[in-house]
Structure 1
Amino acid sequence: MKVAVTGGTGFLGKEVISLLHQDQIYTPVILGRNSVADNVSCEYRKTDYSIASLTNVLRDIDAVIHLAAIRGTNGSIADFYPNIIMTENLYESCRKLGIKNIVFASSISVYSDTTKIPWDEEQLPSPKTLYGISKITCEYIGNLYHRQYGLNIKSLRIAQVLGEGEKKGYMMNTFLDRAFEKKTLKVIGKSIAKREFVYVKDVARAILLALHKPDLHGVYNIGSGEAYTNLEIAKMVNNCFDNEDNLIYEDSLDEGIESSLMDSSKAKKELGYIPSFSFKDALNDIKKIKLQNFKS
């Protein structure tokens, strides 16, 4: 059987495609806007994500993994509106073609109430970013298509993803790169909030577990169960990369972030998801990858 993957050339998508190459049931087909995609290891189909285009490229597809999205925390709702339209067009095309098994990459950003940590799926979503609003809107569209047309959409609320290959400029990858190069890490802010990170390989495995549950529909938290302050993260990264004490901590400012932690027990019960990598395990794996890339 064939599974179409939107966003298959991205950071998470590459890990998902890598796992699908080992899968005994599904063969991946990447969907994208470009005429040609570089370094693609499977079939690639161009689409502008209109209903007409999607209906054409999905004609022989059995399931869909929907990862593609515009990310960020700034801007206007118009900047994230394409996420909603793309998702609606995708589900409408799946409805027309009878494709019912769908996995959607949602986000921990649909939550925000720090008085109710750890968050579970029964809590009322309360996104504080426009990106989070776009994600919960996509979830609601999925619920509508499930009720009206029987599409079984697994919406995975994914914690902040950790891994080599993530977009540069984010705090975590800045720490990893600087520690690998034996440079000083800088932690700016009081470092009070504790945030949950999950390793990209665990997320990819959770997506495949959901794919192999074609009759399930619902939302599932996908996290690690661990949360750390920025200062704790910096110290752990330095320790892993043998860069101890190469750290500047400035605590005179507010850090501008809030704590985050989810309860992923529903995913464990219904999907069989248990994270394989602790935060330290993930750092060690990233170190190994960085060393391999450096030597090559």
Structure 2
Amino acid sequence: MNIIVTGASGFLGRYVLNELSHTGHTVKAIGRSKNKLIGLSSSANYTFAESDYSLASLLSEFKGFDTIIHLASEIMQRNTDKFRITDFNNIELFQNVLLAAKQNDIKKVIQTSTISVYSEVDVLNTEENCKHPPKTIYGLSKYMCDIYAEYFRDNSDVEVLTLRLARLYGYGDRETVIFEQFVNKAINKEPLTIFGDGSSTIEYVYVKDVSKFIVNALNYPKVGGIYNLGFNYIYSLKEIALAINLIFKNPEPVLFPKPNFKNTKGVRMNSNKLTTTFDYKSNWSLLKSLKDLALYYN
């Protein structure tokens, strides 16, 4: 296959490139900054291209390719206006990807979405057909991309596979996310602190599970639609903190300085549709993934 990967220098993109390096496929890695792309892979089958993700740029870059793995996305910032959908370029960016794919006669697009498309109303066993509005403007922007993907599937010959991912974790993630903060404190032998009593929950999925699945999904060129991809299990912050302390041998305790702080129950996605369709099974439990993660720091 001749494969395009957008967002190739991002957290997930780097793992997908590494996974693809074992396949022999021809790969073009696209990102906004060529400096960030250089050095991502030494594979002779890889080329790198800088793009502003305009339609004109993508029309040119997609020539000669047959499959798109679309990972590029804008995330929510602290100063994001929660009422301005135009603060995100996700919709226009994805539109350009699909239009450029169609005009280049590319039949397969895999795009990543997010658990953020679901509402707090959808707490347990959330399936892909839930229709409650997302909690954040970022989630709304990604939800609109998902619906647009379905519209495109119905009205063109481009098959789009949408993967709604649980919260990613793994080596190289942003230091601002709570999982990475816990790991850094454990490495430095500092107490891990949690607001609330630790019962707040988040569904995570290890980045290596996701990258492997995306590459394996290339073997299903005619399968499209929306699929949840997570652990099919939801961990409390206390469980995560204790597991991190165990694996990283942190003798310091987990502290709860504000035990009366509001606890939140995160969405737990039902990934049965994906496991059945793709014969998929997670390779990484929480403890196994933490042991793997610890190797990067040794």
TM-score class, shorter = over 0.9
Which residue of 2 is the match for residue 15 of structure 1? 15
Query: Partners of 1:244 and 1:263 in 2: how far apart?
Result: 35
Q: What does the per-residue CA deviation read over 1:179-223, in whole Å, with 9 as the maximum and x for residues that have no partner?
A: 012122111123222211110000101211222211111011100
AA of the residue aligned to 2:31: G
Identical aligned residues as a percent? 29
Which residue of 1 is the match for residue 48 of structure 2? 44
Query: 1:46, CA displacement in angstroms?
Result: 1.7
TM value normalised by structure 1? 0.92
Aligned length: 290
Counterparts of 1:1-296 in structure 2, within 5 Å, are 1-24=1-24, 26-36=25-35, 37-41=37-41, 42-72=46-76, 74=78, 75-76=80-81, 77-78=84-85, 80-114=87-121, 117-255=124-262, 257-291=264-298
**Structure 1 range deviating more: 27-36 or 156-165:** 27-36
- SS at 1:45 equivalent: strand
Query: 1:126, CA displacement in angstroms?
Result: 2.7
- SS at 2:155 equivalent: helix
Q: Assess if the C-alpha contact under 8 Å between 1:187 and 1:248 holds in 2.
A: yes
Query: 1:73, CA displacement in angstroms?
Result: 5.9
Query: 1:261, CA displacement in angstroms?
Result: 0.9
AA of the residue aligned to 2:218: L
- SS at 1:260 equivalent: coil
Runs (5+) with no aligned partner, structure 1: 292-296
Q: Assess if the C-alpha contact under 8 Å between 2:11 and 2:173 holds in 1.
A: yes
Runs (5+) with no aligned partner, structure 2: none
AA of the residue aligned to 2:26: T
Query: Partners of 2:51 and 2:237 in 1: how far apart?
Result: 40
Query: Partners of 1:190 and 1:251 in 2: how far apart?
Result: 8
Q: Assess if the C-alpha contact under 8 Å between 1:180 and 1:241 holds in 2.
A: yes
AA of the residue aligned to 1:118: N
Q: Assess if the C-alpha contact under 8 Å between 1:114 and 1:259 holds in 2.
A: no
Query: Partners of 2:97 and 2:128 in 1: how far apart?
Result: 24
Query: Partners of 1:122 and 1:31 in 2: how far apart?
Result: 32
Q: Assess if the C-alpha contact under 8 Å between 1:210 and 1:271 holds in 2.
A: yes
For the aligned residue pairs, the C-alpha RMSD in angstroms reads 1.7
